[in-house]
Amino acid sequence: MELKDKLEILADAAKYDASCASSGAPRRDSVDKDGLGATNGMGICHSYTPDGRCVSLLKILLTNFCVYDCQYCVNRRTSNVPRARFSVDEVVKLTRDFYLRNYIDGLFLSSGIIQSSDYTMEQLVEVARRLREEHQFRGYIHLKTIPDADPRLIELAGRYADRLSVNIELPTQDSVTKLAPEKNVHTIKLAMGSIRTKLDEKDDHPKAPTFAPAGQSTQMIVGADASDDQTILNTAQTLYGSYKLKRVYYSAFSPIPQSPSSVPSAPPPLLREHRLYQADFLLRGYGFTAKELMPQAGNLALDIDPKLGWALANRDHFPLDLNRADESMIARVPGIGLRTAKRLIDLRRLRRIRWEDLSRLRCSLKKLAPFVITADYRPAQGAASTDLLRRNLADAPQQMNLWPELQAA
Amino acid sequence: MTADALVRTGQPVLVETFAEWREAARELLVHGIPPDQVTWGAPHMGDLLAGGDLFTGAPAAAGAPHNPSIPPTEPLHPAPHIPRSLMEMLQSAACCRVPDRWAFLYRVIWRWQQGEHDVQSPADEDGARLHAMVKAVHREEHDMHAYIRFRERPEEAGPPRFVAWYEPRHDVLPQVAEHFISRMGKVSWMIATPEASVLWDGQTLHNTGPLVRDAADLEDTGEALWLTYYRSVFNPARLNTNVMHQHIQSDRWKNLPEAKIVPHMVSEAALGARKVGQYEAVGQRKGTTIPIAPEDAQPERQQPSKLDECRRCELWQFATQAVGGEGPRRAKIMFVGEQPGDQEDLAGQPFVGPAGKLLDRVCEAAGVDRDTIYVTNAVKHFKWEPRGKRRLHKTPVQREIEACHYWLDKELASVKPTVIVALGATALKSVLRTANVTLKNSLGKPLRHEGHWVVTTYHPSYVLRVPGEEAKREAFNTMVEGLKLAHELLERPVDVPDA
Ligand code: SF4
């Protein structure tokens, strides 16, 4: 099989993994050095495909042969898909060729499970080793970790890779047992735990060999099982707290050819995935807890974003005086982000904040109007009922912006 | 003539680079000349733009083409009282191609000098424009980092091995060249633009003057692989072209090779490939299932212990693993702590974190060999609540203590210790099976309970946590006394009736 054919199959098979970030690596460059590649910590998206997702890494599987039978996965052993396998050299060459032409920032390498977990992991590690040691490649490398692999292999992977990830796949143990019979939440958590232990060691002993400097991430598939958003966010919160994950990626289940009957035949609304990303961002960036965002079982509202949802459910905090409130509360006002909150605090040191400042800072005035007080503005007394507000502030139906969250870290 | 003299004789101040502007602005500021009295202009550039030699890599001849977009590298001296953050913004904004850039920058710096420091805030009108200019320049740098496409030239042709064409909106080529130098190492390349071009021969950067687009039109077979990749990573089931266009502005597409195949991909997706995520060309290939029996596919893993499968309360859900006790099977002393902590949860062993280290020290001080002691916890799963991105220990409630007592009972039955040392209130409640005991009333008073001696002392975390050196020392000593007491009790009979 020609390289082009393999690429076709093994890129197609890898696209269900939502992770695409190439950020968080330490600064490296190749000035006056043999070899290739630089990272500046930020990561770059080099293109976008018509599904709105960015291309930042060469994202491929080493092989899509797989002995597992995960029901949501196009490569499960009972799936009738064309199969292919790259050699280690082929992946190395593709990565370098793409990198030199400025198509990508590095490599994201995953694989079906062949022979055994250890054997598969060894192959992944070998690609990274050859890139780093033989070709002095300093671009970004993200390796998908096989949970059951020997911790020593995971340690080796962390030596070469900027980021490691272990996919939790589904939000509950029951769902994993049902839909991914060969996987096991327990071993997945243990693998994440061993990565975290290594990351901690590196933090405590800066002289220790590098270990996955861009941290670890995971992915959860949304809509392949019956779990609701409350369950999903609770799981995300547990994972963030326990394993110091950089990111949890949410991937709306994509119907696959000849889907087994154990998974739904239609995808969940993509907007649901989008709301989960927004809620996740509030967990990571704004100090919200899952319980604040989802006090009850069920799914996030689709018509309003989760921050607005929280503000409408907690109107006793509002209207908030922007000339007095502290930064973290200001950032909780719908229509005001972290950066604007900081800028308001800076400005407040010079003078009092006025309504016009909010418009210059390009806040969404309509959204924040019922929630703030400035030197020259306060919302009408006995302001509108929550229902009315909600109707006024709900997102206009539109093509939503699905992926920008994926670019950040 | 100095800038100040030019203004006084009514002539425009001609500047071309940020460094020149900076010199002139300093001069004008020192003389207190307000912005509305200065006319700024650029020297006529036509003659300066003579082209360099495209591929020979020869450095531009001496004295010849000065590239307008590349500032001289001599060190810049800071202007008076201008903070670095503002200077950096001005420097970036100077790359923005707007006709009045020098005049505008001067106004900003003038206002700052007058004490109007909110000129730097985006809430100020000039500040907003400054921020917008900086943002436009940064965006242009970013786009150029992202969307330049190099094509490979044949090895025999010599340097540059890779050539790219780009049409930047702002004067960012110098910064961008730095980026590619750090990325490409000793590989040679060239970036051509309508205004200026740069060539990196692997060691030195040369300015080679403006070029026309055709110069960079090369055949590169590597591009076909890229298009294959681009097509295959696209998921037709999620077609969402708006987002794609939002990210890459339309005039950027024309130099991207993938732009040619986008319309076809979109119409194909809309026509049916949309139902499933697979790219059509892959879907049409012959497929294979993997003939392997489910039993053989199961990875070999250590069987989780029964304890790990415990669902007697909810705590298991949020923990990594259950942490059982550890120590000699027939230990005479058993330590019972509260519950595993963050570290124990990851390691799967009791008392390996800071509290464990402290416990070691207590044992040492009491002259008790820790290796002879069985160590366990009242509750086997880590209970915590999120605090930012950390796990904050949370005390188990009576219901959870009772649920987990099942496991402690098993341990007691198999180890049969003579003395149980309850570390802290939770442990005490668990051992005595009642919520109606307090640590304070039990400290230092051994009791007999169901055939064991029970000694109560602090939990090592308390020693770590209690504020004040004095209190810490006291708590530590209390623990040491407790242990000594436990050791002495080994000699005393317990089979007298419970108190
Ligand atoms: S804490 Fe104890 S009772 Fe609760 S699930 Fe864990 S082992 Fe079972």
Q: Which residue stretches of A205-305 are H helix?
A: 229-243, 270-285, 290-293
Those residues whose C-beta lies under 8 Å from the C-beta of residue B63, and which sit 6 or more positions away, are none
Q: What is the predicted pLDDT for the residue at B251?
A: 83
Q: What is the predicted pLDDT for the residue at B69?
A: 46
- Most ligand 1 atoms within 8 A of CB, residue of B395, B399, B400, B430 to mutate: B400
Q: How confident is the model at residue B66 (pLDDT cuts 50, 70, 90)?
A: very low
Given a cut of 60, whether residue A368 has pLDDT beyond it is yes
What pairing do the DSSP bridges indicate for beta strands A245-252 and A54-55?
A: unpaired
| Burial tier of A133 (Cβ tally within 10 Å: 0-12, 13-18, 19+) | exposed
C-alpha–C-alpha distance, residues B289 and A348, integer Å: 65
Please state the rounded mean pLDDT for residues B300-316: 89
Compute the half-sphere exposure of residue B59: CA atoms within 13 Å on the CB side of its CA: 5
3-state secondary structure A280-344: HHHHHHCCCCHHHHCCCCCCCCCCCCHHHHHHHHCHHHCCEECCCCCHHHHCCCCCCCHHHHHHH
CA of B346 to the centre of ligand 1 (A): 16
Least confident of A222-226, A327-331, B296-300: B296-300
Please state the rounded mean pLDDT for residues B182-207: 93
The nearest alpha carbon in chain B to A78 belongs to B289
Contact B460, B479 (CB under 8 A): yes
Q: What is the predicted pLDDT for the residue at A382?
A: 61
C-alpha–C-alpha distance, residues A114 and A66, integer Å: 6
In angstroms, what separates the C-alpha of B8 from chain A's closest C-alpha?
36
Q: How confident is the model at residue B298 (pLDDT cuts 50, 70, 90)?
A: confident
Given a cut of 50, whether residue A399 has pLDDT beyond it is no
Q: Cβ–Cβ of B234/A181 closer than 8 Å? A: no
pTM metric for this prediction: 0.89
Report the 10 Å Cβ neighbour count for B419.
24
CA distances from A190 to A41, A146, A174, B89 (A): 28, 11, 17, 47
Please state the rounded mean pLDDT for residues B335-349: 96
Given a cut of 80, whether residue A29 has pLDDT beyond it is yes
Contact A48, A54 (CB under 8 A): yes
Q: Helix or strand or coil: residue B167? A: coil
CA distances from B220 to A101, B150, B153, B226, B230 (A): 10, 9, 7, 11, 16
* pLDDT tens-digit series, residues A271-309: 999 999 999 999 999 999 999 999 999 999 999 999 999
Q: What is the predicted pLDDT for the residue at A161?
A: 97
Q: Cβ–Cβ of B289/A30 closer than 8 Å? A: no
CA of B384 to the centre of ligand 1 (A): 13
Give B-chain residues touching A238 at CB under 8 angstroms.
317-318
C-alpha–C-alpha distance, residues A194 and B128, integer Å: 48
Give the tokens for residue B260: 């040619």
Q: What are the E-state strand segments in B128-177? A: 151-152, 162-165
Q: Which of A49-53, A86-90, B53-57 holds the top average pLDDT?
A: A86-90
* pLDDT tens-digit series, residues B384-425: 999 888 899 999 999 999 999 999 999 999 999 999 999 999
Mutation choice for B interface testing from A101, A137, A359 by most B CBs within 10 A: A101
Contact A88, A126 (CB under 8 A): yes
Q: Tell whether omega for the bond before B160 is within 30 degrees of 0, i.e. cis.
A: yes
Those residues whose C-beta lies under 8 Å from the C-beta of residue B311, and which sit 6 or more positions away, are none
Residue whose pair of structure tokens reads 């006709």 in the numeric block: B99
Q: How confident is the model at residue B55 (pLDDT cuts 50, 70, 90)?
A: very low
Given a cut of 70, whether residue B499 has pLDDT beyond it is no
Largest CA distance in chain B: 113
Q: How confident is the model at residue B225 (pLDDT cuts 50, 70, 90)?
A: very high
Q: What is the ipTM of this complex?
A: 0.92
Start-to-end CA distance of chain A, whole Å, equals 37
Give the tokens for residue B271: 């026509």
Q: What is the predicted pLDDT for the residue at A406?
A: 41
CA distances from A91 to A98, A123, A366, B150, B282 (A): 11, 11, 51, 20, 19
In angstroms, what separates the C-alpha of B422 from chain A's closest C-alpha?
28
What pairing do the DSSP bridges indicate for beta strands B419-423 and B333-337?
A: parallel
Q: What are the E-state strand segments in B341-492? A: 373-377, 384-387, 390-393, 419-423, 447-449, 452-457
Q: Pick the more confident residue, A125 or B267.
A: A125
C-alpha–C-alpha distance, residues B165 and B156, integer Å: 21
C-alpha–C-alpha distance, residues B338 and B329, integer Å: 21
* pLDDT tens-digit series, residues B455-486: 999 999 999 999 999 999 999 999 999 999 99
Q: What percent of chain B has pLDDT over 70?
A: 90
Q: What is the predicted pLDDT for the residue at B325?
A: 96
Please state the rounded mean pLDDT for residues A227-234: 96
Tell me which residue has its CA closest to atom 1 in ligand 1.
B381
Q: What is the predicted pLDDT for the residue at B44?
A: 57
What pairing do the DSSP bridges indicate for beta strands A320-321 and A372-373?
A: parallel
φ/ψ region of B113 (left if φ > 0, alpha if ψ in -120 to 50, else beta) reads alpha
Q: What is the predicted pLDDT for the residue at B491?
A: 85
Given a cut of 80, whether residue A365 has pLDDT beyond it is yes
Residue type at B434 in one-letter notation: T
Q: How confident is the model at residue B59 (pLDDT cuts 50, 70, 90)?
A: very low
Nearest to B22 by CA among B111, B82, B96: B82
Q: What is the predicted pLDDT for the residue at B3?
A: 83
Pairs of residues, one from chain A and one from chain B, whose beta carbons lie less than 8 Å apart: 280
Partner residue facing B149 (CB), from A7, A67, A101: A101
Q: What is the predicted pLDDT for the residue at B275?
A: 63
Q: What is the predicted pLDDT for the residue at B104?
A: 96
Q: How confident is the model at residue A104 (pLDDT cuts 50, 70, 90)?
A: very high
Q: What is the predicted pLDDT for the residue at B48?
A: 38
C-alpha–C-alpha distance, residues A363 and A351, integer Å: 19
Report the 10 Å Cβ neighbour count for B16.
17
Q: How confident is the model at residue B70 (pLDDT cuts 50, 70, 90)?
A: very low
Rounded to 5 degrees, what are φ and ψ at A218?
-150, 175
The angle subtended at Cα A107 by Cα A22 and Cα B235, nearest 5°, is 85
* pLDDT tens-digit series, residues B265-294: 998 887 765 567 777 778 788 888 988 888
Given a cut of 70, whether residue B79 has pLDDT beyond it is no
Start-to-end CA distance of chain B, whole Å, equals 104
Q: Which residues pair with A107 in a beta bridge?
A: A58, A141
How does the average pLDDT of chain A come out, rounded? 91
CA of B319 to the centre of ligand 1 (A): 10
Please state the rounded mean pLDDT for residues B357-361: 95
Q: How confident is the model at residue B72 (pLDDT cuts 50, 70, 90)?
A: very low
Given a cut of 80, whether residue B214 has pLDDT beyond it is no
What pairing do the DSSP bridges indicate for beta strands B390-393 and B384-387?
A: antiparallel
Q: What percent of chain A has pLDDT over 70?
A: 96
Q: What is the predicted pLDDT for the residue at A75?
A: 92
Given a cut of 50, whether residue B195 has pLDDT beyond it is yes
| DSSP structure class, residue B192 | E
Protein residues whose CB sits closer than 6 Å to any atom of ligand 1 = B 310-313, 315-316, 322, 379-381, 400, 403-404, 407
Please state the rounded mean pLDDT for residues A50-65: 94
Given a cut of 70, whether residue B22 has pLDDT beyond it is yes
Nearest to A38 by CA among B471, B231, B185: B185
